[in-house]
Structure 1
């Protein structure tokens, strides 16, 4: 990860493998485009949730990016999901810092594929990163973690409000709901 060369002397240059573990996703037991009674677990692809399946291969806090196909989209998961075989799964005690590192990688330079883009675990492991000292990492994890929790709560609330709007607006427009007597 390029930087301007100016950093505290307690920080060191290392590789992504020094602060994260990288594995590949797996082929799911079954796949459904829509959520069903059997397929309730999100199936994670290189750039988004691409369907649903019946089991999970991760229930921990993970970061996911494309191994084959789409590169550079970094997804965050902290609930049961199945990471497909076209993904790289990154875990770390420094989740928030690694998330930021992954945002700055030049994925194009890591591409090994000629017709289909491909990034290997080995290449990702060797990405050069700047590693802050333990105290700085702890402080960053604490602050960024709190901010990302608030961000995720806000996203969830926005989804809930959009669903409520989408349920109520047609009823208001059709006259099924009458709000003219409300005292606001």
Structure 2
């Protein structure tokens, strides 16, 4: 029970640290791309208006849903992601690396401010067809892409009443301001250490949660 308490305590600390890290990069994002502090308070004239497809590469075609029956006898090794969270663990993976998973459908696809629900993950994993799979491109990495999408009101492209949905076509064509490459390079360099630490903390959380689950299983046995 002592080990279980330590696991829970350390998980709680890591969650709080990640919240603080995210608050910090959100503040930096607002300073640069909402208040335009580094640009004398004015949006630079050389920034362009494009769409999400211009800054994000989509990997939706690689998704593969697995039924609960198919997952029953699998060894629990790699996380199996759904729209907003890990829903199970499976014995194989489709993706390996850093990706963004943008909720496609489900009970919630945007928050109370219309911002899309995004999972920023790294490592080996499987994903079903309830989340769009994205990586950054054209000067955007996964860190900066996360911030730009997470701070954009996408409520206007949510369809369906009983089952809210952001379909791929609407997400790809959603308009977004695209800063010049020099600005993005500077911004990426500033925020990268925050996100690197955040992903490290999340990896530690997953290990602690797995250890806690193992301990509980042994206690029951």
Shorter chain as denominator, the TM-score bin is: 0.7 to 0.9
Matched, 1:44 2:44: no
Matched, 1:88 2:124: no
Report the Cα distance in structure 1 between the residues aligned to 2:165 and 2:181, rounded to whole angstroms.
33
CA shift digits 1:109-167 (9 cap, x unpaired): 21122321111111000111111111111111122112211233345557778999xxx
Matched, 1:79 2:117: no
Q: Which one has a bigger Cα radius of gyration?
A: 1
Question: Which deviates more from structure 2 when the two are superposed, residues 146-155 or residues 71-80?
Answer: 146-155
Report matched runs for 1:163-174 at 5 Å.
none
Q: Is the CA contact 2:122–2:199 (under 8 Å) kept in the aligned structure 1?
A: no
Name the residue aligned to 2:53: 17
Name the residue aligned to 1:7: 43
CA RMSD of aligned residues (A): 3.0
Q: In the alignment, which of 147, 156, 167 is matched to residue 120 of structure 1? A: 167
Instruction: Report SS of the residue matched to 1:82.
Output: strand
How many residue pairs get aligned? The number is 163
Offset, 1:74? 0.7
Any gaps of 5 or more consecutive residues in structure 1? Answer: 165-184
CA shift digits 1:156-179 (9 cap, x unpaired): 557778999xxxxxxxxxxxxxxx
Name the residue aligned to 2:23: none
Instruction: Report SS of the residue matched to 2:71.
Output: coil
Which TM-score applies when normalising by structure 1?
0.75
Offset, 1:57? 1.4
Task: Report 1 or 2 for greater relative contact order, CA contacts < 8 Å, sequence distance ≥ 6.
Answer: 2
Whichever structure has more helix as a proportion of its residues is: 2
Which TM-score applies when normalising by structure 2?
0.63
Any gaps of 5 or more consecutive residues in structure 2? Answer: 1-32, 37-41, 110-115, 212-221
Q: Is the CA contact 2:77–2:89 (under 8 Å) kept in the aligned structure 1?
A: yes
Shift in alpha-carbon separation, 1:40–1:149, aligned structure 2, 3 A? same
Instruction: Report SS of the residue matched to 1:149.
Output: helix
